Amino acid sequence: MTQPNRLGIGGRIDRSRKFAFRFNGRLYEGHPGDTLASALLANGVDVVARSFKYARPRGICAAGAEEPNAIVEIGATEATRVPNVRATQQALYDGLVATSPNGWPSVDTDLMGAVGTLAGRFLPPGFYYKTLLSPTLWRRAEPALRRAAGLGRAPRERDPDLYDHMNRHCEVLVIGAGPAGLAAALSAGRSGARVIVADEQEEMGGSLLDARDMIDGRPALDWVTAVLAELSARDNVVLLPRTTANGLHDHGFVTLHERLTDHLGASAPLPDGRNAVRSRMHRVRARRVVLAAGTHERPLVYAGNDVPGNFVAGALSTYLRRYAVAPGRQLVLSTNNDHAYRAALDWADAGREVVAIVDARPAPDGDLVSEARARGLRIVAGSAVIEVRGGRRIRKALVAPIDPVAFRVGGPVETLACDTVASSGGYSPVVHLSAHTGVRPVWRDDLQGFVPGEVPGLLSAGGVRGRWTLAEAIADGLAVGCAAARETGFEGPPTAAPEVAPLREGAMLPLYQVPHVEPPMRAPKQFVDLQTDVTAAAIELATREGFESIEHVKRYTGMGFGTDQGKLGNLNGMAIAARCLGQPIARTGTTVFRPNYTPVTFGAIAGRHCGELFEPRRVTALHAWHVERGAVFEPVGQWLRPRHYPRPGEDMAAAVRRECLAVRTGVGILDASTLGKIDLQGRDAREFLNRIYTNAWSQLEVGRARYGLMCRDDGMVMDDGVTACLGEQHFHMTTTTGGAAAVLDWLEMWHQTEWPDLEVYFNSVTDHWAVLALNGPKSRELLAPLTDIDLADEAFGFMEWRTGKVAGVPARIFRISFTGERAYEINVQADCAMHVWQALFERGAQFGLTPYGTEAMHVLRAEKGFILVGQDTDGSVTPEDLGMQWCVGRRKPFSWVGRRGLARPELQRPDRKHLVGLKPRDPAVVLDEGAQIVLEPEIRIPMEMVGHVTSSYFSPTLGHGFALALVRGGRERLGETVYLPRADGRVDAAEIVRPVFYDPEGARQNAGPETKGRDGVLARRPAVESALAHRAGAGAARGPVGLRIEELPFAGQLVLRGRGEDPAFADAVEAALGLALPRTPLQFVGEGARGLSLQWVSPDEWLILVGRDEAEATEQRLRESLAGHFAVVNVSGGQTVLRLSGARARDVLMKSTPYDVDPRNFPVGKAVGTVFAKATVQLRRPSPECWELVVRRSFADYVLRWLLDAGEEYGVAFVSGRSLNEDSPSS
Amino acid sequence: MFQLYCPVCREARAEEEFRPKGEARIIRPPVPEAASDEEWADYLYFRTNPKGLHTEQWVHAAGCRKIFLVVRDTVSHEVAGSWALGEAPVVVEGAAEGDSR
């Protein structure tokens, strides 16, 4: 293939190499350095798309982000397809495959084109709204319209590429690397401030890449090269080419989309077998943003301005000078300003014919005008191109004198034969980013354009604020870069401006829509927005139909709704609306621009937060066992819990039935580690419980536990759980699995904002304690020989707890039951849980010990009528509605949370919905959860619904289906029959019964044979397992290792609470630990030799790490030394430590946390609590070489998987946590 | 994406580290039983929802777990400052900036 439009010399392309590429199935050739657009033009491809509404042939008309026509889909395979790419921004690579999303069967012979031509007159704005008013019609028409209009479509296969996020912090972010942006980066960089420069193009330099100007007497590009060399040598400057600033958000937060491999191929390459990242979203927090985005040239609006061959003037210069492409032979330039003359001069330089320069101004006279005159180019003054004609390419241009004020043609029309028309109506500052936070741009009459409004932290430089000549832009950039740095406390040496030859430019003449001999409504189509096919006549019609606000005009016509957000056409549309409304443009105003500036692939937005890493999957210490046993898991909150353990050949119903019966007749075990657990310590802990729970806690003795119900202050149930009294001032609260974080938040909120005088500290111990719930009549028999706790009922009654050892491991056992059977909930430190669990199974074999999952748990608890908050309640249910008046302490002195709310008259009504049981008339029926309840079997619409089913199961024990339901006045309806219509028309009948189906007397909790406990059966010493023991062997790196991850398991970990401002407290801590208490925020101190460290977490909280097995002794020393209000909580089982080192450790941290990990902000000895991926961690810097993450045990697996994934491109090695199992006999 | 200054950790942090806790200084009637249904409903449900400066509570969930006050313009999202509980916000119109007090 030849490239008929390629010039023999010049340009920034590499003619020595050729790239083959395909466009709409046809093979072409281009060179490295080309964009897809420049290569298509070089090959003489005129038609690249069919228009959205009229299916008119369209060609490339611009050279950058503002291109409205050349929107293509890139990628050879379904999985690598990217829709919505502007050909002007896609670098050419060998083998590129691009297609036009629209045009059927092809852009060249488009059948819709004929329809568009014929029907064009009958498709006014609002046509579809008006015609397809009925939703049914619209639903039928939409798919056909979409296919015809060609909006592109999402890929149907999974994207094989990796996408990434990176958090960055800087003093100055410079957006745009043209003359002003580079100058700003230079002066800001010299101040020492951290500077990031982002530019969307393949190479930095902006307009200087095709400039005619000289800087310091040399070609402008030499200056660009020198500046870039200095910037890239500075370690305080980050240069990000191929990076689009897509959104400017609140408080200096900017999202940058960096395309790392889009210029190399359809999919990211695989260097060293490691997946490269295809594109990366930089989440930048900048103290100052310098917007140096320059301007977009506006085309003029004239008839036929969409025929291929129409260009904005500056784009011609770009194609000629940067890509060595002359996309035509004979040029007519239509302009209202001097600057556009460059296009004609460049055209003439390329040896092509300039037919005429048509200038709207009566007497143009700037330096560029003089140059054109001197070179003998024909200048037609006071005139404009009023129409061009042609089909798939321009054939001629009609030129006439115009009177822009009177808006009419003022003389005879001359026809000029040509194939290219360039137009320039002035320059629109690229204000988009400045408007993203809602600040309106400001109109400037002198510029005939909008400039950025006042945005906090944003400074504009260069063209975007009207500094349009090169000398002005550079000087402005230097000054603004300096000012931005200074505002953040960095002062650099003054930077002298380079010398730029001054250029005298004449004033522009405001001109947008060019008058035609016919009135606008009858003239051939004059396009305003090429992407959405909005014409000047459409805007005029909109204003005539009463749409006066520009936002309404936009919505009525569709102007600016395309993926280009009307970059090229919006201002023309506003000017036309203003003319039609007889008001200045300033009053018409502008529409709002929103992120993203250009379309962003979803992959980049999602980053690594997809697939297995979409959200944290919290797992218990027994997870590996569940997996091995083939458990089917279900997500509960962020936890992954076994739902049931099917045996071969079993379906869920069979497995659940077997598990239920095992618990009712023998013994079963549930991993209940996910229950929320909160440690409360302090003189007023008991009073706090009285205030936060509905029931009374004053009489609860040490050694006993009680069920509690928590309401919001409006009286509605929000959580429940059992709380045990560990000591007079020490309680252990449990919450629902899903409610744990919310309850801790709730306690803190009431304490901090309402009752700060109460002396109590709350700490989460959810991850520290694993909970192994033995349930069933044989549970005592199984457990007794494994523990030194006396299990006789007189010694250890129901709703009591005891401490002792189980399988040689210190344990707390709670005699509480969620199944109604005799039960022992064994709490052990999580890293010993697997050992105890296995010991229970070793002994349990003879009893048929059966692991059961959440589904059996639900059946068993529902048979007992035990509620599940969030399933049987929905935020509108009171304790009384649940029939739990027994749990409401009416006589407590303090007005506890919810009491006054419950006194509201609405909550006193007798016909509120009550929790009742439903027994289906057909015993085989299991009612649908959520089914509505009615009082009659004949279904009429409408009919009164009196409630709904909240829980429904088949009970293997009872042999029939049963349900819990909320029914209006239900407790007064016991024995009545109600009806439940199904979606398929059948109606179930059910009897209202009491909600307790099984053992209403509560005898079963003490059932089972008597035994006595004794210790010593155990043959092995307890084994402990670190949080990540099961990941041993993960992340074995090939090649160089940029990130080394090491688990430091089994550290003793204590949370210390107390009054940091009290010197006596600090002294007592120092006396106990031999290390001064850090009292400065974010400080941490350590003694490596002793494995001791002390970290400030808040003014009343510290994290203490000590050596293995030293937690208890340390806690004891602290308790002996401290007095007054304090708390010490052992969390050794609940957290693990990951040490990160290696040359790329900091990069991986930047991918993971929004916190600024630059050494300037994060010196050795600092520790912060922050967000890591979607988990929360303590991030510490113990030495210059490494970082520590203190991670909650249940999140450790997620955090490790995240690190392995994020570090893959740098090479990762993981040294696993160990599992310690000294297999020696014990006493 | 806001950036809020935590007056306890004494640093500006990303919004992801915080959770909003609604309008500040909602006063629970000191003797709830003495409050009329209207007063109680007002305490439970009614908020000022101003256009302009608004004093709100945020908790530094990923950091110190302390609740503090933020005065924020609900239109521009500009933050006039942060205060620990027990401190009285002093807002000087237009004198504030997001990353300082």
On chain A, the residues whose CB falls within 8 A of the CB of B75 are 438
Contact A906, A898 (CB under 8 A): no
On the question of pLDDT at A702 being above 50, the answer is yes
On the question of pLDDT at A34 being above 60, the answer is yes
pLDDT at A1222: 41
> Closest approach of chain A CAs to the CA of B21, in angstroms?
9
**Phi, psi of A49, rounded to the nearest 5 degrees:** -160, 165
Q: Nearest residue of A to residue B9 by CA position?
A: A1081
Q: How far apart are CA A563 and CA A595, in angstroms?
A: 11
Contact B33 A895 (CB under 8 A): yes
Query: Per residue in A510-529, pLDDT tens?
Result: 999 999 999 988 999 999 99
pLDDT at A1088: 77
On the question of pLDDT at A1098 being above 50, the answer is yes
> Closest approach of chain A CAs to the CA of B3, in angstroms?
6
Longest dimension (CA), chain A: 116
Between residues A1024 and A678, which one has the greater pLDDT? A678
Q: What is the DSSP letter of A290?
A: E
pLDDT at A1223: 39
Asked if A1171 has any chain B CB less than 8 Å from its own CB, the reply is yes
Q: How far apart are CA A464 and CA A454, in angstroms?
A: 13
Highest mean pLDDT among A49-63, A273-287, A910-924: A910-924
Asked if A703 has any chain B CB less than 8 Å from its own CB, the reply is no
On the question of pLDDT at A934 being above 90, the answer is yes
pLDDT at A1183: 94
CA neighbor of A170 nearest in space, from A1161, A1224, A861: A1161
Span A154-159, mean pLDDT?
A: 87
Contact B19 A745 (CB under 8 A): yes
Contact B57 A753 (CB under 8 A): yes
Span A824-844, mean pLDDT?
A: 96
pLDDT band for position A110 (cuts 50, 70, 90): low
Asked if B2 has any chain A CB less than 8 Å from its own CB, the reply is yes
Contact A357, A333 (CB under 8 A): yes
Query: Per residue in A707-729, pLDDT tens?
Result: 999 999 999 999 999 999 999 99
Mean pLDDT of chain B: 89
> Closest approach of chain A CAs to the CA of B33, in angstroms?
6
Asked which of A792-796, A1129-1133, A1211-1215, B50-54 is least confident by mean pLDDT, the reply is: A1211-1215
pLDDT band for position A1058 (cuts 50, 70, 90): very high
CA neighbor of A1139 nearest in space, from A1206, A1199, A1095, A1209: A1199
Estimate to the nearest angstrom the gap between the alpha carbon of A754 and the chain centroid: 34
Contact A749 B21 (CB under 8 A): yes
CA neighbor of A151 nearest in space, from A257, A249, A53: A53
Q: Nearest residue of A to residue B34 by CA position?
A: A900
On the question of pLDDT at B97 being above 50, the answer is no
Contact A752 B14 (CB under 8 A): no
For chain B, the C-alpha Rg in angstroms (whole number) is: 15
Contact B14 A285 (CB under 8 A): yes
B4, B5, B9: best mutation site toward chain A, by most A Cβ within 10 Å?
A: B9
On chain B, the residues whose CB falls within 8 A of the CB of A253 are 1, 3
Span A17-23, mean pLDDT?
A: 97
Asked if B44 has any chain A CB less than 8 Å from its own CB, the reply is yes
Longest dimension (CA), chain B: 43
Q: What percentage of chain A has pLDDT greater than the value 90? A: 84
pLDDT at B78: 94
CA atoms in the 13 A half-sphere facing the CB of B65: 25
pLDDT at A1066: 96
CA neighbor of A372 nearest in space, from A400, A419, A420, A335: A335
pLDDT at A838: 96
Query: Left if phi > 0, otherwise alpha if psi is -120 to 50, otherwise beta: which for A503?
Result: beta
Query: Per residue in A432-444, pLDDT tens?
Result: 999 999 999 999 9
Query: Per residue in A354-375, pLDDT tens?
Result: 999 999 999 999 999 999 999 9
On chain A, the residues whose CB falls within 8 A of the CB of B13 are 1154-1155, 1170
Contact B99 A287 (CB under 8 A): yes
Mean pLDDT of chain A: 93
pLDDT at A562: 85
Contact B67 A249 (CB under 8 A): no
Report the residue from B63, B85, B98 with minimal CB separation from A1169: B63
A694, A900, A1101: best mutation site toward chain B, by most B Cβ within 10 Å?
A: A900
Query: Per residue in B3-39, pLDDT tens?
Result: 999 999 999 999 999 999 999 989 999 999 999 999 9
pLDDT band for position A238 (cuts 50, 70, 90): very high
Q: Would you call A858 exposed, middle or buried from its count of C-beta atoms within 10 A (0-12, 13-18, 19+)?
A: buried
Contact B9 A1081 (CB under 8 A): yes
Q: Nearest residue of B to residue A901 by CA position?
A: B40
Q: How far apart are CA A789 and CA A1014, in angstroms?
A: 7
> Closest approach of chain A CAs to the CA of B92, in angstroms?
16
H/E segment holding residue A115: helix A111-119
pLDDT at A99: 92
Between residues A252 and A117, which one has the greater pLDDT? A252
Q: Nearest residue of A to residue B13 by CA position?
A: A1155
Query: Per residue in A248-298, pLDDT tens?
Result: 999 999 999 999 999 998 888 776 667 789 999 999 999 999 999 999 999
pLDDT at A1226: 36
On chain A, the residues whose CB falls within 8 A of the CB of B37 are 904-905
Between residues A916 and A555, which one has the greater pLDDT? A916
On the question of pLDDT at A1016 being above 60, the answer is no
pLDDT band for position A122 (cuts 50, 70, 90): low
Span A474-488, mean pLDDT?
A: 98
Report the residue from B44, B59, B63 with minimal CB separation from A1168: B63
Q: How far apart are CA A306 and CA A58, in angstroms?
A: 6
On chain A, the residues whose CB falls within 8 A of the CB of B55 are none
On the question of pLDDT at A1171 being above 80, the answer is yes
Query: Per residue in A411-422, pLDDT tens?
Result: 999 999 999 999
Query: Per residue in A945-981, pLDDT tens?
Result: 999 999 999 999 999 999 999 999 999 999 999 999 9
DSSP one-letter string for A262-277: TTT-SS---GGGPPPE
Q: Would you call A967 exposed, middle or buried from its count of C-beta atoms within 10 A (0-12, 13-18, 19+)?
A: buried
pLDDT band for position B95 (cuts 50, 70, 90): very low
On chain A, the residues whose CB falls within 8 A of the CB of B32 are 895, 899-900
Report the residue from A251, A438, A756 with minimal CB separation from B3: A251
On the question of pLDDT at A1023 being above 90, the answer is no
Contact A284, B1 (CB under 8 A): no
Asked if A939 has any chain B CB less than 8 Å from its own CB, the reply is no
CA atoms in the 13 A half-sphere facing the CB of A48: 32
pLDDT at A1220: 56
Span A176-190, mean pLDDT?
A: 98
Q: How far apart are CA A843 and CA A848, in angstroms?
A: 10
